[in-house]
Structure 1
């Protein structure tokens, strides 16, 4: 947790945190559709398709963490609390919202490839 002195030196702006959350959700929604295309073309069925989505969504979150959060946290040690409401929001923030887009494009491309 950040101390009062650290918050005075570099305050956390609520509007920026909300913007980061919206951006992360948009990223998850777009990549979920791309993952659906990949799962459909590969012909994945049932649990394998959902595991594909889960694995690549977590990979997307890990890439966001490595390329955006880690360089910022090296300066002040705040980590994900500085950019998001919590660390769980970074890892699972867009999983449920992107699931419908994933299933839609998964079934579309599965049907197009297998027809």
Structure 2
């Protein structure tokens, strides 16, 4: 939790946090659908499809973190895994996408699996 002095120097604006969270949610939903299309075209079934989703969702979260959060955290002298400046918590970045996009993944996975295998 940032101290009062840190908040006075660089305040956290709630509107920015909401915008960042909404943008991240949209990105996670879009990538989950694209992962579903990929899993369906590849013909993955059962655990292989869910493992595909888990691995690529975590890869997408790592890319978002590495390209957006980590460089600015390091430049500001913050700890490397500190996401509180841009999001409500680390859960939004790392695990939020797993549940946010799961329904879209399953929907597009089954749709494209059925289209390819039919």
TM-score band, normalised by shorter chain: over 0.9
Matched, 1:107 2:110: yes
- More helix, by proportion: 1
- Normalised by the length of structure 1, the TM-score is 0.94
2:43 aligned residue? 43
- Say whether the 8 Å CA contact 1:24–1:93 is kept in structure 2: no
Q: Give structure 2 stretches of 5+ with no counterpart.
A: none
| SS class of match (2:83) | helix
Alpha-carbon displacement from aligned partner over 1:9-68 (angstroms, at most 9, x marks no partner): 100111111111111110010001100010001110011101111111111100000000
1:97 aligned residue? 100
Tell me which of 61, 83, 88 is aligned to 1:85: 88
C-alpha RMSD over aligned residues: 1.1
Q: Give structure 1 stretches of 5+ with no counterpart.
A: none
Name segments (4+ residues, structure 1) moved above 4 Å. none
- Normalised by the length of structure 2, the TM-score is 0.92
